[in-house]
Amino acid sequence: MKVYNTQSKRKEEFEPLVPGKVSMYVCGPTVYNFIHIGNARPMIVFDTARRYMEHKGYEVNYVSNFTDVDDKIIAKANEEGVTAQEISERYIAECKKDMEGMNVKPATTHPLATQEIDGMIEMIQTLIDKGYAYNVDGTVYFRTKKFKDYGKLSHKNLDDLRSGNRSLLVTGEDQKEDPLDFVLWKPKKEGEPSWPSPWSDGRPGWHIECSVMAKKYLGEEIDIHAGGEDLIFPHHENEIAQSECCNGKPFAKYWLHNAFLNIDNRKMSKSLGNFFTVREISEKYDLQVLRFFMLSAHYRSPLNFSAELMEASANGLERIRNAVSNLGYLLESAADGEMTAQEQKQLDEVMAFETKFDEAMDDDFNTADAIAAIFELVKYANSNASAENTKAFVQTVRDEIIKLCDVLGVIAEEQQELLDEEIEKLIQERQEARKAKNFARADEIRNQLLEQGITLLDTREGVKWKRA
Give the domain extent around 351.
Answer: 308-407
Are residues 452 and 399 both part of a single domain? Answer: no
Residue 111 to residues 66, 67, 117, 237, 440, Cα–Cα distance (Å):
6, 9, 11, 21, 21
Tell me phi and psi for residue 156, to 5 degrees: -85, 155
Q: What is the DSSP letter of 131?
A: T
pLDDT higher than 80, residue 384: yes
Mean pLDDT of the chain: 93
Q: What is the pLDDT of residue 415?
A: 64
Are residues 331 and 384 both part of a single domain? Answer: yes
CATH of the domain at 362: 1.20.120.640
pLDDT tens digit sequence for 313-335: 999 999 999 999 999 999 988 99
Q: What is the pLDDT of residue 167?
A: 47
Domain boundary (365, 383, 407) is at: 407
Q: What is the pLDDT of residue 30?
A: 94
Residue type at position 401: I
Are residues 341 and 364 both part of a single domain? Answer: yes
pLDDT tens digit sequence for 257-295: 999 999 988 887 777 777 789 999 999 999 999 999 999
Are residues 427 and 463 both part of a single domain? Answer: yes
Contact 427, 465 (CB under 8 A): yes
Are residues 333 and 373 both part of a single domain? Answer: yes
HSE value, Cβ hemisphere, 13 Å, CA-based, for 381 = 30
* Residue 220 neighbours by CB distance under 10 Å: 14
pLDDT higher than 70, residue 172: no
Are residues 457 and 426 both part of a single domain? Answer: yes
CA distance 207 to 195: 17
Average pLDDT for 196-217: 97
Question: Does residue 371 sit within a domain?
Answer: yes
Are residues 427 and 362 both part of a single domain? Answer: no
Are residues 328 and 377 both part of a single domain? Answer: yes
Question: Does residue 224 sit within a domain?
Answer: no
pLDDT tens digit sequence for 331-345: 988 999 999 999 999
CA-based R_g, the chain, Å:
25
pLDDT-based confidence at residue 174 (cuts at 50, 70, 90): low
Return the SS3 of 190.
coil
* Residue 13 neighbours by CB distance under 10 Å: 7
Question: Does residue 346 sit within a domain?
Answer: yes
pLDDT higher than 90, residue 353: yes
Question: Does residue 350 sit within a domain?
Answer: yes
Say how many domains are in the chain: 2
CA distance 462 to 459: 5
- Stated as kind and residue range, the H or E segment containing 293 is helix 287-295
First to last CA, the chain: 40
Question: Does residue 8 sit within a domain?
Answer: no
Higher pLDDT, 122 or 425: 122
Domain boundary (363, 383, 407) is at: 407
Residues with Cβ within 8 Å of 170's Cβ and at least 6 positions away in sequence, in order, are none
Break the chain down into helix, strand, coil percent, rounded to 5.
50, 20, 30
Average pLDDT for 15-31: 97
Higher pLDDT, 83 or 163: 83
CA distance 318 to 14: 34
How many angstroms from the chain centroid is the CA of residue 173? Answer: 34
Q: What is the pLDDT of residue 171?
A: 42
pLDDT higher than 60, residue 120: yes
Contact 335, 391 (CB under 8 A): yes
Contact 51, 411 (CB under 8 A): no
DSSP state string for 62-123: EEE-BB--SHHHHHHHHHHTS-HHHHHHHHHHHHHHHHHHTTPPPPSB--BGGG-HHHHHHH
Question: Does residue 340 sit within a domain?
Answer: yes
Domain boundary (359, 379, 407) is at: 407
Question: Does residue 200 sit within a domain?
Answer: no
Contact 65, 210 (CB under 8 A): yes
Question: Does residue 16 sit within a domain?
Answer: no
Are residues 365 and 446 both part of a single domain? Answer: no
